[in-house]
Structure 1
Amino acid sequence: MSASSPLGVALLIVSTTAAKDPSTDASGTLLKDVIEQEGGSRWQLVDTKIVPDDVVQIQRQIMLWADMTVPGGINLILTTGGTGFAVADNTPEAVSALLHKQAPGIVHGMLSASLSVTPFAMMSRPVAGVRNKSVIITLPGSPKGAKENLQAVLKTLPHACLQAAGQDSRSLHAGGVKKLEADAGISSSEGSAGHSHSHGGGHGCGHSHSHEHGHGHSHGGGHGHGALVRHTTSSANPMSNDPTLGPSRRNRESPYPMLAVDEALAQIKEHTPAPEVVTTKVNRDLPGAVLAEDVKAKANVPAFRASIVDGYAVVVPKDGNMKGVLPVVSVSHAAPGEAKELKEGEIARITTGAPLPAGATSVIMVEDTILKTMTDDGKEEKEVEILADNVQEGENIREVGSDIQSDALILRQGEQISAVGGEIGLLAAVGVGEVQTYRRPVVGVLSTGDEIVEHDRPGDLRLGEVRDTNRITLMAAARDWGFEVIDLGIAADQSGSLEETLRSALRQVDLVITTGGVSMGELDLLKPTIERSLGGTIHFGRVAMKPGKPTTFATVPVKDNAGARMRKVVFSLPGNPASALVTFHLFVLPALQQMCGATPAGLTEVPVALAHDFALDRRRPEYHRAVVTVGQDGTLLASSTGGQRSSKGEKIQALLMGGVRSE
Structure 2
Amino acid sequence: MQRESPYPMVSIDEAQRLIREHITLLGVEEIDVLRDAAAGRVLAEDVYGVEPLPDAPKAAVDGYALRSDDGSAPRRVIAEVTAGAMPGLRVEPGTAVRIMTGAPIPDGADAVIAVEYTDERDSVLIVQRTLRAGDNIHTVGQDIAVGQLVLARGTTLGAAEIGLLATVGRARVMVYRRPVVAVLATGDEVYEPDGEVFPGGVRDSNRYALMAAVREAGGLALSLGIARDDVNVQRAAILAALDQADVLLTSGGVSMGTRDLIKPLLAELGTVHFGRIAFKPGKPTTFATIERPASVRSAPLLAFGLPGYPVSSLVSFEVFVRPALRRLQGDAHPERPHVRVTLCEPIRPSADRPEYQRAVVSWENGRLMARSTGRQGSSRLLSMLGANALLIVPAGMTPYAAGAELDALMTGHLAPPGASSGSSSAQPQ
| Superposition TM-score tier, normalisation by shorter sequence | 0.7 to 0.9
Q: Structure 1 residues 356, 490: closer, same or farther in 2, change over 3 A? A: same
SS in structure 2 of the partner of residue 617 of structure 1 = coil
Alpha-carbon distance in structure 2 between the residues aligned to 1:290 and 1:440: 9
One-letter code of the match for 2:391?
G
Unaligned 5+ runs, structure 2:
396-429
CA contact (8 A) 2:117 2:129 kept: no
Q: Could you tell me which of 71, 76, 97 is aligned with 1:326?
A: 76
Q: CA deviation at 1:323?
A: 2.5
CA contact (8 A) 1:518 1:525 kept: yes
Alpha-carbon distance in structure 2 between the residues aligned to 1:347 and 1:647: 75
Alpha-carbon distance in structure 2 between the residues aligned to 1:633 and 1:372: 53
Q: Could you tell me which of 228, 232, 235 is aligned with 1:499?
A: 235
CA contact (8 A) 1:296 1:411 kept: yes
Q: CA deviation at 1:264?
A: 1.2
1:569-608 counterparts in 2 under 5 A? 569-608=302-341
Task: Determine if the alignment matches structure 1 residue 264 to structure 2 residue 24.
Answer: no
CA contact (8 A) 1:571 1:588 kept: yes
> Which residue is equivalent to 1:549?
283
Alpha-carbon distance in structure 2 between the residues aligned to 1:388 and 1:631: 46
Q: How many residues align?
A: 393
One-letter code of the match for 1:572?
G
> Which residue is equivalent to 2:171?
433
Q: Could you tell me which of 222, 246, 259 is aligned with 1:486?
A: 222
Q: Could you tell me which of 86, 90, 93 is aligned with 1:338?
A: 86
SS in structure 2 of the partner of residue 625 of structure 1 = strand
CA contact (8 A) 1:311 1:366 kept: yes
CA contact (8 A) 2:246 2:302 kept: yes
Q: CA deviation at 1:353?
A: 1.0
SS in structure 1 of the partner of residue 389 of structure 2 = helix
> Which residue is equivalent to 2:385?
653
Over alpha carbons, which structure has the higher Rg?
1
One-letter code of the match for 1:428?
A
Describe the superposition over 1:55-84 as per-residue Cα deviations: whole angstroms up to 9, x where unpaired.
Answer: xxxxxxxxxxxxxxxxxxxxxxxxxxxxxx
One-letter code of the match for 2:149?
L
Q: Structure 1 residues 547, 563: closer, same or farther in 2, change over 3 A? A: closer
1:240-251 counterparts in 2 under 5 A? none
SS in structure 1 of the partner of residue 292 of structure 2 = strand
Describe the superposition over 1:324-364 as per-residue Cα deviations: whole angstroms up to 9, x where unpaired.
Answer: 45252x32111x33333225255432211111234544434
> Which residue is equivalent to 1:625?
358
SS in structure 1 of the partner of residue 183 of structure 2 = strand
CA contact (8 A) 2:91 2:106 kept: no
One-letter code of the match for 1:538?
V
Q: Structure 1 residues 325, 662: closer, same or farther in 2, change over 3 A? A: closer
SS in structure 2 of the partner of residue 606 of structure 1 = strand
Q: CA deviation at 1:613?
A: 4.4
1:176-191 counterparts in 2 under 5 A? none
Q: Structure 1 residues 653, 321: closer, same or farther in 2, change over 3 A? A: closer
Task: Determine if the alignment matches structure 1 residue 274 to structure 2 residue 33.
Answer: no
Q: Could you tell me which of 345, 348, 363 is aligned with 2:112?
A: 363
SS in structure 1 of the partner of residue 241 of structure 2 = helix
Alpha-carbon distance in structure 1 between the residues aligned to 2:76 and 2:347: 80
Describe the superposition over 1:124-178 as per-residue Cα deviations: whole angstroms up to 9, x where unpaired.
Answer: xxxxxxxxxxxxxxxxxxxxxxxxxxxxxxxxxxxxxxxxxxxxxxxxxxxxxxx
SS in structure 2 of the partner of residue 507 of structure 1 = helix
- By relative contact order (CA 8 Å, sep 6+), the higher-ranking structure is 2
Q: Compute the TM-score of the two structures, normalised by the length of structure 1.
A: 0.54
Alpha-carbon distance in structure 2 between the residues aligned to 1:612 and 1:371: 66
SS in structure 2 of the partner of residue 566 of structure 1 = coil
SS in structure 1 of the partner of residue 340 of structure 2 = coil
CA contact (8 A) 2:120 2:126 kept: no
Q: CA deviation at 1:525?
A: 2.3
Q: CA deviation at 1:653?
A: 2.2
Q: Structure 1 residues 621, 394: closer, same or farther in 2, change over 3 A? A: closer
Task: Determine if the alignment matches structure 1 residue 302 to structure 2 residue 48.
Answer: no
CA contact (8 A) 1:449 1:493 kept: yes
CA contact (8 A) 1:590 1:602 kept: yes
Task: Determine if the alignment matches structure 1 residue 451 to structure 2 residue 189.
Answer: yes
1:121-270 counterparts in 2 under 5 A? 252-270=3-21
CA contact (8 A) 1:552 1:573 kept: yes
Identify the structure with the greater helix proportion.
1
Q: CA deviation at 1:275?
A: 4.3
Q: Could you tell me which of 389, 407, 414 is aligned with 2:154?
A: 414
Q: Structure 1 residues 558, 340: closer, same or farther in 2, change over 3 A? A: same
Q: CA deviation at 1:629?
A: 5.2
SS in structure 2 of the partner of residue 354 of structure 1 = coil
Q: Compute the TM-score of the two structures, normalised by the length of structure 2.
A: 0.81
Alpha-carbon distance in structure 1 between the residues aligned to 2:125 and 2:28: 61
Q: Structure 1 residues 657, 488: closer, same or farther in 2, change over 3 A? A: farther
Q: CA deviation at 1:268?
A: 0.9
Alpha-carbon distance in structure 2 between the residues aligned to 1:480 and 1:653: 16
Q: CA deviation at 1:302?
A: 0.9
One-letter code of the match for 1:541?
G
Q: CA deviation at 1:394?
A: 3.5
CA contact (8 A) 1:307 1:397 kept: yes
Q: Structure 1 residues 442, 661: closer, same or farther in 2, change over 3 A? A: farther
CA contact (8 A) 1:320 1:392 kept: no
CA contact (8 A) 1:506 1:568 kept: yes
Task: Determine if the alignment matches structure 1 residue 285 to structure 2 residue 37.
Answer: yes
> Which residue is equivalent to 1:540?
274
Paired-residue identity, %: 41
